Amino acid sequence: MKNQKSLDSLFDKLLNTEQILSNKEVLRHSYTPEQLPHRQHQIEELASILVSAFKGETPSNIFVYGKTGTGKTAVVKYVGKAIVKKIGGHYFSKPFQGYKPDPEFVSTTHYDYSVWFIYMNCEVVDTQYRLLAKLGEYFGQSIPLTGWPTDKVYDTFFSALDQKKRLVVIILDEIDKLLRKGSDEVLYNLTRINSDLTNARVSIIGITNDLNFIEFLDPRVRSSLGEEEIVFPPYDAVQLQDILAQRAGMACRNMEIIEPGVIPLCSAFAAQEHGDARRALDLFRVAGELAERERSKKISEKHVREAKERIEQDRIVEVVKTLPTQSKLILYSCILLEKYEPSGMSTGEVYNVYKDLCKLSCSEVLTQRRISDIISELDMLGILNARVVSKGRYGRTKEIHMGIPVTQIKRVMEQDRKIERVTTYVPPIQHKLY
């Protein structure tokens, strides 16, 4: 009971802390503002293609290219929302969980047809079956996650879609994820579907940050899907400042709580990473949260630098979580050796420990050359620092150091079952002759 009271008082104390960020949602990636700075050209380009919807015609399929955080998804949603409001129809701008998607809004149609704007993220809906099943659910169909023949799923979606006169604009965000799962066929079927429909019409907008994606498409799909292309260039530091100033004004109770160098610094860091507006927003949001926890009156440059460090650590942790088992075993070998060889370790030393860990975890032992390649990959990710050095008559070798703090990633790695088996291992340390 005492602990409960203590926790209650802690919550009360935290809730009574003056908030710097009064509306964090406007800093989230999913938020689409009413104005999109420095994207007027792309808005007009997209609108000029989709304007045929007002004439009862089917707009061309469109490919939207650009690096992460260049406003691709925001612009597509922004224009789509305006079209649905003007013509009338259903606007689905967020992925849904469960079996009954709810539109963000429904607008009464002023024409003899309606527009349905449906946003799908292919990182989640990444197979032909899942995509068709989810699309079917937007039109009132209940399709199991597995178990049906794909033809049946397609026919169910097709029949429900064609029940009314409507234009359905399907947004496939991160469309390249579908290709990686071998789902060319569903793209081919969707781009050809209009020739079989009686009442409805379908237009596809594919969004990707992979500029080479279209080269790997089946030529039949490429010709029909890439009818129009819009490229989004990265933002520069000045443009990022404008974007961040707009959102900061919406997120904070007043701009006086932001020190003068904060927005330029967030923007400069984001500009270094190919002009990523999401990065700038994340830096500002985390900096604001850190300031609140410190009960600071203002967001400072110090908070931005701390936010940058924290975000980078979180990114590394996510990368480590998704490493293949062999890469984890090599990295864990380096972590163990770092404890006993802080001056640096060689590829040979890592390989000897790695072989022991493979035996303990019942894993296949790769060749030393392959291990050297994986060490280079971990170096490119910034997890290890590996440089080739000469050891005189002992030849050349890679001198390896950890590139990031060990404590956090060690804890994450030990959640892996294979790594869990080797946590008690102590490497045999040999005296170096050089």
The partner residues of 102 in beta bridges, in order of sequence, read none
- Residue 15: per-residue pLDDT: 63
- Residue 264: per-residue pLDDT: 96
In whole angstroms, give the CA distance from residue 281 to residue 240: 9
- Residue 5: per-residue pLDDT: 61
Burial (CB count within 10 angstroms: exposed 0-12, middle 13-18, buried 19+), residue 223: exposed
88 vs 219, higher pLDDT: 88
In whole angstroms, give the CA distance from residue 170 to residue 100: 17
Backbone phi and psi for residue 396, each to the nearest 5 degrees, phi listed first: -105, 145
- Residue 261: per-residue pLDDT: 95
No. of H helices and E strands in the chain? Answer: 17, 10
CATH code of 235-319, in short, is 1.10.8.60
- Residue 239: per-residue pLDDT: 96
Q: Which two tokens stand for residue 322?
A: 């998704």
- Residue 431: per-residue pLDDT: 43
pLDDT(79) > 80: yes
3 vs 415, higher pLDDT: 415
In whole angstroms, give the CA distance from residue 206 to residue 171: 6
pLDDT tens by residue, 227-273: 799 999 999 999 999 999 999 999 998 899 999 999 999 999 999 87
DSSP 90-152: EEE-S---SS----SEEE--SSSSEEEEEEEETTTS-SHHHHHHHHHHHTT----SSSS-HHH
> Rg of the Cα trace of the chain?
27
pLDDT band at 124 (very low <50, low <70, confident <90, very high): confident
Backbone phi and psi for residue 433, each to the nearest 5 degrees, phi listed first: -95, 5
Long-range contacts of the stretch 332-337 (C-beta < 8 A, 24+): 332/357, 332/410, 332/413, 332/419, 332/422, 333/357, 333/427, 334/384, 334/400, 334/402, 335/402, 335/406, 335/409, 335/410, 335/413, 336/425, 336/426, 336/427, 337/427
Sheet holding 62-66, edge to edge: 105-107, 89-92, 114-121, 166-173, 201-208, 62-66, 228-232
pLDDT band at 409 (very low <50, low <70, confident <90, very high): confident
Cα torsion for 233, 237, 238, 242, to the nearest 10°? 80
pLDDT over 70, % of the chain: 91
In whole angstroms, give the CA distance from residue 75 to residue 193: 26
In whole angstroms, give the CA distance from residue 18 to residue 140: 46
- Residue 10: per-residue pLDDT: 64
pLDDT tens by residue, 175-211: 988 877 666 788 888 988 999 999 999 999 999 988 7
Backbone phi and psi for residue 114, each to the nearest 5 degrees, phi listed first: -125, 165
Q: Is 292 helix (H, G, I), strand (E, B) or coil?
A: helix
Other residues' Cβ atoms within 10 Å of the Cβ of residue 364 = 7
Q: Which two tokens stand for residue 387?
A: 């440089």
pLDDT band at 304 (very low <50, low <70, confident <90, very high): very high
Mean pLDDT score, 138-149: 89
Structural domain spans, the chain: 39-232, 235-319, 323-420
The partner residues of 172 in beta bridges, in order of sequence, read 120, 206
In whole angstroms, give the CA distance from residue 204 to residue 303: 42
Q: Are 109 and 133 in contact (CB under 8 A)?
A: no
- Cα–chain-centroid distance for residue 368? 34
Q: Which two tokens stand for residue 274?
A: 């190919």
* Winning range, highest mean pLDDT, from 120-134, 158-172, 329-343: 158-172
Q: Lowest-confidence range among 150-159, 192-201, 314-323, 391-400?
A: 391-400
Q: Are 80 and 169 in contact (CB under 8 A)?
A: yes
CATH topology assigned to domain 323-420: Arc Repressor Mutant, subunit A (1.10.10)
pLDDT tens by residue, 351-389: 999 999 999 999 999 999 999 999 988 988 888 888 877
pLDDT tens by residue, 19-56: 888 899 999 988 889 999 999 999 999 999 999 999 88
Do 235-319 and 323-420 share a fold? no
Cα torsion for 364, 370, 372, 378, to the nearest 10°? -80
- Residue 13: per-residue pLDDT: 64
Q: Which two tokens stand for residue 283?
A: 């830096």
**DSSP character at residue 341:** -
- Residue 285: per-residue pLDDT: 95
| Averaged confidence pLDDT in the chain | 87
- CA distance to 239, 261, 298, 329, 343, per residue, from 245 (Å): 10, 12, 15, 45, 46
- Residue 433: per-residue pLDDT: 39
The pTM is what?
0.76
99 vs 126, higher pLDDT: 126
DSSP 51-94: GGGGGTPPPPPEEEEE-TTSSHHHHHHHHHHHHHHHH-EEEE-S
Q: Are 121 and 174 in contact (CB under 8 A)?
A: yes
Q: Which CATH class is domain 39-232?
A: alpha beta
- Residue 277: per-residue pLDDT: 94
| Pairing, β 201-208 against β 62-66 | parallel
